[in-house]
Amino acid sequence: MELKLMMEKLGAPQTHLGLKSMIKEVDEDFDGKLSFREFLLIFHKAAAGELQEDSGLMALAKLSEINVALEGVKGAKDFFEAKVQALKSASKFEAELKAEQDERKQAEEKRRLRQAAFRELKAAFST
């Protein structure tokens, strides 16, 4: 279902049988599902010319490419900026984790400074 939705969003909708044949073409462990490794295998096979020209997998591989000669530099720039934006939004989770780690580091630094200030005051009253 995820593959079907992705293909529809990319503008290359597939039939149920077409999706099954796409999965079968790269399904190395025969579980009827695409793992991340098998998904990457689509692009590896496309680069090696091992995919049929009319297959859904070739359509998927072509959807992630741009021909600068046809689109021009501006089109390529827009394409890659869109890809970067998509990656940034996908890595929002990573950004949230990084922000939490930074907050923890700042809190630890503040705690360390408070302890050092306390030790100085304690030493002043002790002498």
Determine the pLDDT at residue 104: 94
14 SS3 class: coil
Which whole number is the average pLDDT over 59-84? 62
Nearest to 42 by CA among 7, 75, 9: 7
Is CATH 3.30.365.10 what the domain over 2-70 is classified as, yes or no?
no
Determine the pLDDT at residue 107: 95
Distance in angstroms (rounded) separating the CA atoms of residues 42 and 21: 13
Per the CB < 8 A criterion, the answer to whether 1 and 7 are in contact is no
0.85 exceeded by pTM? no
Q: Radius of gyration of the chain from Cα atoms? A: 26
Determine the pLDDT at residue 86: 67
Residue 111 has pLDDT above 90, yes or no: yes
Domain-by-domain residue ranges, the chain?
2-70, 73-125
Identity of the residue numbered 65: E
